[in-house]
Amino acid sequence: MSNVSGQGDITPLTVAVCIGTYNQAQYLRGSIESAIAQTYPIQEIWVADDASTDDTPAVMEEICKDYPQVRFYRQPKNLKLPGNLSWLMAQPSTEIIVRLDSDDRLQPNYVEVLVHLMQLHPQAGFAHCDVFELDEHDHRSKVRRIIRSKTYESPEDMLKSNASGYRAAANCIMYRTQALRDVNYYIPNLDWGPCEDWDMVLRMAAKGWGNVYAPQPLSNYRVWDDVQGARAKRKTAEVWTTTLVYEKTLIPEYEKRGWSIEPLKRNMRKKAVEFVDALDSPRFTEQDRVEYKRVLNELGKSTSLSIAISMAEMGLNPVMRAWKKTKRSVKEGVKSVIRAMRPSRPSTA
């Protein structure tokens, strides 16, 4: 592990950008070129195609002609996202690895800013930042932010802050390679699916790794329109894996430290109520709805959950969604006010 070797003398860190892709050929060039355009030297750029069925191979053939430094590998069969990324991030020989999805893009100074924080805090297993939201037409809609006062967050503080959910604006994350190796990437829980990033960083905290955060938008995260609930079918898996993160990772770590698990149980109940939002999706069959209600109760059975399910079955979810949208807008406004009121601090804090 590289360290701060003396005051004003920081050991440079080698960096690789790892881009996992599946059926996103139209966005690959933009993602790769955003890695090539970094203001900090990038030693390796890897792209792993998870057996795409679109024209990704042909697109990558052209890109590799233009940029011979890009290393491309096509999986012989589909491994799904955690499997493909685990293979991919195990390939570089660098000290730092940036995970970049193939439909997302980095700002030119992404690596420069975050690697500096990683240099200053060798105990940080990963670094993250605010992100611009990008729609399918490359238009920026807003900035995703988190409210946080410290640059470095200790493993203990991280386990506490993540009690209510994954505390990162998006999954474009810079990792320390040693931290990835310490937790064996996504491999221990490959079948957990939608919560793979949250699970992995919590396992890093359990191993003693903290994290650093830059309160500025340094990447662009693609957010897709959810036409008629197209993502709702993934919700059952998301609820199930959320339950597993609490039961298999957070609760054992809290008990190991002698902390009360009641805040975790309270957040599980709260999350179950929030997940009711997908119950009226037209993509659900009646059997899907029965299964979805079952996993919701496994996550956090409560009177509030029963009421929320009853309201959804009475057709009131659209009203609740409008209310939640209003609350989100107010929350974003509060975040902006808090940011504006805080004194500026250098990124080296």
Alpha helices by DSSP H, listed for the chain, are: 25-36, 56-66, 80-89, 110-120, 155-161, 177-183, 196-206, 235-244, 251-256, 262-275, 286-300, 303-313, 317-341
Per-residue pLDDT tens over the stretch 120-147: 999 999 999 999 999 888 889 899 999 8
According to DSSP, the β-strands at 173-176 and 15-21 are unpaired
End-to-end CA distance of the chain: 21
Any idea where the domains of the chain sit in the sequence?
4-222, 227-338
Per-residue pLDDT tens over the stretch 77-133: 999 999 999 999 999 999 999 999 999 999 999 999 999 999 999 999 999 999 999
Per-residue pLDDT tens over the stretch 254-308: 999 999 999 999 999 999 999 999 998 888 899 999 999 999 999 999 999 999 9
One DSSP character per residue, 179-193 reads: HHHHHTTTGGGGGGG
Q: Is the pLDDT of residue 57 over 90?
A: yes
CATH class of the domain defined by 4-222: alpha beta
pLDDT score of 346: 46
